[in-house]
Structure 1
Amino acid sequence: MSTPALVLTTRSPLTPLVVACLAATWLVWGSTYLAIKFALLSLPPFFQMGTRFLVAGLVLFAWMRWRGAPLPDARQWRNAGVVGTLMLGGGMGGTAFAEQTVGSGLVVAFIAVVPLLIVAVNLLWRVYPARSELAGIGVGLLGVLLLTQGAGFQASPQGLAAIAVATVAWSFGSVLSQRALPLAPGAMGFASEMIGGGLVLLLLAFAVGERPQWPPQPLAVGAWLYLVVFGSLIAFNAYMTLLARAPAGLAASYTFVNPVIAMLLGVALGGETISAFEWLAAAVVLAGVVLLLAQRRG
């Protein structure tokens, strides 16, 4: 996810509110990938993601309207549909699809390359990275190449293809929302994006003939509720708060904390196996992300 370059003026950014928001983006977003895996027990990928984002989007939309936020205009709804199709339909739909055959820890380790891809996509708008940023991109992409050679992705070519499409779609959607397809201001823009993306995901679920298990397993239902409430509503608002109150580098720190948390949770709670080679590859990816973000701090 792209991070606007917002600068904090206070000398001590680690207020209790900022710490709480960091905990939400680190722990909640880091745990959502295992929650997706648990929800897959009864809810197929596109149906799961579509209902998740549609419900969360409608709740946030109603909340913003109750607070007096104006409705998005026709152009903003159109933009939300395009961005939602890319970021949620392609990005999150592809992620859930990949988790059917690839461990959640490996999936999120691959996703860590998104900040690097966003820099690359910005080249289309002639936004060129500094030489030091190019070093981060090179290291990160090397890590992804190593990651794809591990047993997890080698055993599932379709999972590798799905997560590759997901990261590219998310990156293009992120850049388009900034450069060419602006959404409605604030949380209303995110709500409209979730509604648009959720509808596209449900259309995909119908097109491929997905059928949720009925009755669903309690663990799957609990995971789905966790994704709606904590993953889509609480953690997002925490992230928006960080953008307003913390340096950009600190706000974006979730991009290299989430993979570590997701991999640990996948092993501890999801019964996943990650080889030493795959841990090393993930570390190389994260080193590239750290190099990139270090150039954008403050």
Structure 2
Amino acid sequence: MIHLAAFALMALIWGVTWLPMKLASEVVPPIFLAATRFLLAASCFLPILLARGLPLRSAMFGRIVVASLLITTGCYGFLFWGVAVAPSGLSATVNLALMPIFLVVIGALYGQERITARRIGAIALGVAGLVLLFSGRNGAVQGGAMAALGLGAVAVGTVSYAWGSVISRPLTKAMPPMVLAFWQSLIGGLGLVPVSLALEGYDPARFAALADGRAILGLSVLVIGGSLFAFSIFLWLVRDWGAFRAGLYSFVSPIIAVVIGVVYAQEPFGWAETVGMGVMLAATALTLAEPKGAAGSERP
């Protein structure tokens, strides 16, 4: 029961972060924002870890670096660039629909997951629900080849996150999840700095823009809620549940985000969104209720 409560809290927090992140992105470029977020998160994690006396060293530091670059640098670099050149609704659909697919496939390749009929059915339901949920937000695909390239980048970013999540599981068993969260925030955030410079250029005015109320609100929610709480919970669930079940937040968080958008931004809401939400929750429940033993015998 405690795992389900933690999962619900994680999905709620990550659903709430969408609107503040959007507001903050109006002030500073998104990859610069992501780099700032993770570096701030690392600076918050460190005193907590030192106060608790948790060891920071690990014999698996090479895997930590690879996982960090995949789950943070690679994911956000490709994802944010793709969203910048492709319709945001389609980008969200591609990212969220592909996430559980890549998690279970990559997890199976690493011996952590099993591809079962129940899981295939849950993924199909979840994808259908996502399509319904974002049907009124996709819009026409404009930009031709560039938009298609952007959606391809979103897919690559999703693969990067899924791969990083899967190879993080042995790390969560070898060290406290919060220690891993610190390293992945620090290394991944540092990795995003050159990506931001290459794609967004350098402008010293951006640092002054971080004092804008929208940036402060966005970073506060992203760092405290998204990183310190939700990401730590995610790694804990990856350890105990496996990456696929932990990654089912991708069928729950969008519901929270859409509800917040309807309440605070007067975004459209109708029968398609209602049915989509119900289908996505059913897909999540179908997998979370699966019997023990659905995960494979783990290997590195």
What is the TM-score when the length of structure 1 is the normalising length?
0.74
Return closer, same or farther for 1:171/1:22 CA change in 2, 3 Å cut-off. Answer: closer
Equivalent residue for 1:234, pick from 229, 234, 256: 229
SS in 2 for 1:42: coil
User: Equivalents in 1 of 2:285, 2:168: separation in Å?
Assistant: 24
Matched, 1:88 2:72: yes
User: Equivalents in 2 of 1:45, 1:233: separation in Å?
Assistant: 20
Q: Which moved more, 1:155-164 or 1:213-222?
A: 155-164
Indicate if the aligned counterparts of 1:132 and 1:292 stay in contact, CA closer than 8 A.
yes
- Deviation digits for residues 28-85 of structure 1, max 9, x if unmatched? 2211111211110112111111111111113212321232212223x53322221111
RMSD (Å), alpha carbons? 4.0
Indicate if the aligned counterparts of 2:10 and 2:229 stay in contact, CA closer than 8 A.
no
- Deviation digits for residues 91-140 of structure 1, max 9, x if unmatched? 34444445556557972795265233211212323543222222223333
Aligned counterpart, 1:190: 181
User: Equivalents in 1 of 2:4, 2:31: separation in Å?
Assistant: 33
Return closer, same or farther for 1:283/1:110 CA change in 2, 3 Å cut-off. Answer: farther
Aligned counterpart, 2:49: 64
Indicate if the aligned counterparts of 1:136 and 1:289 stay in contact, CA closer than 8 A.
yes
Matched, 1:256 2:254: no
User: Equivalents in 2 of 1:153, 1:77: separation in Å?
Assistant: 44
What's the offset of the Cα at 1:204?
Answer: 0.4
Indicate if the aligned counterparts of 2:130 and 2:251 stay in contact, CA closer than 8 A.
no
What's the offset of the Cα at 1:155?
Answer: 3.4
Indicate if the aligned counterparts of 2:67 and 2:165 stay in contact, CA closer than 8 A.
yes
Q: Which moved more, 1:171-180 or 1:195-204?
A: 171-180
Indicate if the aligned counterparts of 1:54 and 1:199 stay in contact, CA closer than 8 A.
yes
Return closer, same or farther for 1:257/1:213 CA change in 2, 3 Å cut-off. Answer: same
Return closer, same or farther for 1:202/1:60 CA change in 2, 3 Å cut-off. Answer: same
Equivalent residue for 1:121, pick from 102, 106, 112: 106
Return closer, same or farther for 1:49/1:122 CA change in 2, 3 Å cut-off. Answer: same
User: Equivalents in 2 of 1:112, 1:257: separation in Å?
Assistant: 12
Alignment of 1:26-175 (within 5 A): 26-73=11-58, 75-97=59-81, 100=84, 102-103=87-88, 107=92, 110-111=95-96, 113-126=98-111, 127-142=113-128, 152=138, 154-155=140-141, 157=147, 160-175=151-166
Letter in 1 for 2:60: Q
Aligned counterpart, 1:202: 193
User: Equivalents in 2 of 1:295, 1:261: separation in Å?
Assistant: 24
User: Equivalents in 1 of 2:95, 2:207: separation in Å?
Assistant: 32
Indicate if the aligned counterparts of 1:43 and 1:213 stay in contact, CA closer than 8 A.
yes
User: Equivalents in 1 of 2:135, 2:247: separation in Å?
Assistant: 28
User: Equivalents in 2 of 1:250, 1:97: separation in Å?
Assistant: 27
User: Equivalents in 2 of 1:238, 1:52: separation in Å?
Assistant: 18
What's the offset of the Cα at 1:187?
Answer: 1.1
What's the offset of the Cα at 1:296?
Answer: 5.0
User: Equivalents in 2 of 1:258, 1:103: separation in Å?
Assistant: 16
Indicate if the aligned counterparts of 1:54 and 1:198 stay in contact, CA closer than 8 A.
yes
Flag structure 2 segments of 5+ consecutive residues without an equivalent: 294-300
Letter in 2 for 1:228: V
Identity rate of aligned residues, in percent? Answer: 28
Flag structure 1 segments of 5+ consecutive residues without an equivalent: 1-12
